[in-house]
Each structure stands twice: as C-alpha cells, then as structure tokens.
Amino acid sequence: MVMLRNMIFATDNSNKVNEINGLMSENFSFRIITKTEAGILEQIEETGTTILENAKLKANYITEKYGFDCFSEDTGLIVDAIGGEPGVYSARYAGRDNDSEKNIELLLKRLENKADRSAKFLTIIALNIKKNQFIFEGEVKGTIIKSKRGDKGFGYDPVFQPDGFDITFAEMDTDSKSKISHRGRAFNKLIEFLNTYNLD
Ligand code: IMP
C-alpha cells in the first residue's frame, strides 16, 4: 500500500479543496488537508498589497509558526478598463463582508460606460516544501458580461465569460470550470511538480 503524505492547503474553503482533489490522479502521493484539519484554527490576515504577497504570507505563516510544509493560493480578478481592479481586493471590493452580490454590482457599475470589458482571473500558489519556496501561476482570460447568468460557482462567476465560450463560469459544472480555470491551471502545475519532487 502507498503511504500518503499530508500536505496542508492554507485554506478552509471546501470548494477549493474539492477542486484540487478532483484534479489529482489516483496514484498521487499526497493527501491534501485544510488548515483546520491540521489543527490550525486562526484566520490568517491577508494584509499583502499584491496577490503574490498574500499567497506567500499565508504559506509562510504556517511554516514559520508551526514548521509544516504547506501551500496557499490567492486569486484576483483583474479588469483592464478600470486599472486592474478589483485585483488583490477582489473579495472585499464593495466592503469587508466579502459579499459577492455587492462586489458584482460595484464591478458592473464601474464598467457601465466602458467599451473594453476584458478581464482575467489570476491565481498564484506559494508552496513551502523542505525549506524551499516554489511559485505557480494560472490565469484565464475572458469578458465581464453586462448582467449575471448562471447559479453555479461563486464570487464573480456569474459575470465572467471565459474566452472561447458563450457561457459564464456560473453556467459550467465544476469539472468543466476547473479544466480551464485560473485555479485549475495553477493546481495542475502544483500537482505535476509534487508528482516529480524528490521527497527523500
Ligand atoms: P481568494 O483569495 O482566492 O479567496 O479569492 C478572492 C476573491 O476572488 C473571492 O472572494 C472571489 O470573489 C474571487 N474569486 C476567486 N476565485 C474565483 C473564481 O473561481 N470565480 C469567481 N470569483 C473568484
């Protein structure tokens, strides 16, 4: 029987854990566990001013405080016509309560008179393993449509239509979304790396 090593994912978002579990092959030698499952109950403040900084600080908090190998991810929606907003502030664009309805409302208002509605999601993963840090990125380009469509997914999914598709992320099932999504692409790079990493 293959011995699985635990790898902490610095999140308590079960959507994200399900997403990465759905991408791993059966012979993957790690079991992904959330930080709560690892006994780390405190919230890690995302005080960085970039997506990269936030990804690093979450992973570094766990490694520095508890000495565990782990990885974290941070994601933002970057909309060209409004200078890259909401970017690192995607979760709290319209206020600190991470209210997706209000965030979408504000985004649509900010784009009201803009012809260019191009956008991308960017995910950055920071992996701390055996005293080294590795960074993985994934992105998906698309368009912010004028009104919401679909009820799947979360966050900005109802107004994000990926390039090459005529449906939004909120109209796709999880598997189809994670095949092309920012996070799916970054997770795949992480999985590929861990598959070939020498653990001895
Ligand atoms: P997080 O830091 O990865 O939790 O992402 C910050 C914010 O970006 C979330 O609160 C969502 O509003 C948005 N976001 C991240 N990933 C996605 C996604 O896959 N679809 C839609 N919105 C997302």
Mind listing the pLDDT tens digit for each residue in 30-47? 999 999 999 999 999 999
pLDDT for the residue numbered 10: 96
3-state secondary structure of 27: coil
Pairing of strands 86-87, 118-129: unpaired
Taking CA atoms only, the protein residue closest to ligand 1 atom 12 is 155
pLDDT for the residue numbered 200: 73
pLDDT for the residue numbered 90: 97
Average model confidence (pLDDT) for the chain? Answer: 94
Question: Minimal CA–CA distance to 141: which of 166, 113, 122?
Answer: 122
74 is catalytic: yes
pLDDT for the residue numbered 115: 97
Contact 114, 81 (CB under 8 A): yes
Cα torsion for 61, 155, 19, 48, to the nearest 10°?
A: -20
pTM reported for the whole predicted model? 0.95
Ligand 1 atom nearest to CA at 11: 4
pLDDT for the residue numbered 41: 96
Ligand 1 atom nearest to CA at 54: 2
pLDDT for the residue numbered 85: 98
The model's confidence at residue 108, banded by pLDDT at 50, 70 and 90, is very high
Average pLDDT over every residue of 9-38 = 89
pLDDT for the residue numbered 17: 87
What does the DSSP 8-state code read for residue 154? S
What does the DSSP 8-state code read for residue 166? S
Q: Which residues pair with 140 in a beta bridge?
A: 121
The neighbour count for residue 115, using CB atoms within 10 Å, is 6
Class of domain 5-196: alpha beta
Lowest mean pLDDT among 3-12, 42-51, 88-97: 3-12
Pairing of strands 5-9, 30-34: parallel
pLDDT for the residue numbered 110: 98
The model's confidence at residue 1, banded by pLDDT at 50, 70 and 90, is low
pLDDT for the residue numbered 2: 62
pLDDT at 197 over 90: no
pLDDT 10s digits, 128-141: 999 999 999 999 99
First to last CA, the chain: 18
| Torsion sign (Cα): 72, 179, 144, 146 | negative
pLDDT at 3 over 80: no
Q: How far is the CA of 84 from the centre of ligand 1 (A)?
A: 15
pLDDT 10s digits, 160-192: 999 999 999 999 998 899 899 999 999 999 999
Angle of helix 14-23 relative to helix 182-196, nearest 10 degrees, comes to: 60
Q: Which protein residues are within 6 Å of ligand 1, measured from CB?
A: 74-77, 90-91, 98, 100, 103, 121, 153-157, 169, 181, 183
